[in-house]
Amino acid sequence: MAGNPNEIILRVENVIAGSTTGAVQQGGVPMNGINQTTAPNMSKGSAFAQGISAQMFVESASRILSATGNTELASGLSKASSYAFLTSRVIMSGGADLTALVSLVTKASADILTAIQKANQLKRETAVQQNAADILRMRSGAFSINAETVISYNRYGRVSFTGRK
């Protein structure tokens, strides 16, 4: 190789992982001339695919639990894994994954509203039972209603009897 004495010839032996050529590195990239190497970084697409695979695994496990009759545990596992998956997507993106953030907020809002509805339904059912017990006490003579009694209902349908003063 006869060339210009001012010419520098550079030959690349390794290809860095994640390059546009698609080649995969077999080892590592030396850092600043030191013999340390770094592990190849996982691409965002690969991390997302692994997250989807993990979510599908958890969903399959919850279906198996549900099929064996343990629906409470299956439901809890499914909800917890869904929250964990969305939260990890938000954290790993530094809050930049708006789809995961909106999904997380929407899911949490729906679960909170469902819990409130269940609590209100339980209070209505309790009010019906307490009203039935009051009717039985009135029929047995444990207490009576007269012209001085004020009858009122709370928001769950519970009847209360108070005397006027």
pLDDT 10s digits, 85-95: 888 888 888 88
26 in any annotated domain: no
Phi-psi region of 29 (alpha: psi -120 to 50; beta: other; left: phi over 0): beta
Q: Give per-residue pLDDT as tens, 21-62.
A: 444 445 554 444 444 444 445 555 666 666 667 777 777 888
Overall domain count for the chain? 1
Give the per-residue pLDDT at 31.
Answer: 47
User: 20 in a domain, yes or no?
Assistant: no
pLDDT tens for each residue of 94-140: 888 888 889 999 999 999 999 999 999 999 999 999 999 998 988 89
Residue 80 lies in a domain: yes
- The answer to whether residue 51 is domain-embedded is yes
CB atoms within 10 A of CB 23: 12
Query: How far is it, in rounded angstroms, from Cα 154 to Cα 127?
Result: 9
Instruction: Kindly list the distances between the CA atom of residue 88 and the CA atoms of 40, 53, 76, 106, in Å, as whole numbers in the listed order.
Output: 21, 14, 18, 16
- Domain assignment present for residue 28? The answer is no
- Higher model confidence: residue 111 or residue 72? 111
**Could you tell me which of 77, 105, 78 has the C-alpha nearest to residue 90?**
105
Least confident of 21-30, 63-72, 107-116, 154-163: 21-30
Examine residue 24 and state whether it is found in any structural domain, yes or no. no
**Is 151 inside any structural domain?**
no
pLDDT of residue 127: 95
pLDDT at res. 106: 94
**Host domain of residue 90:** 44-144
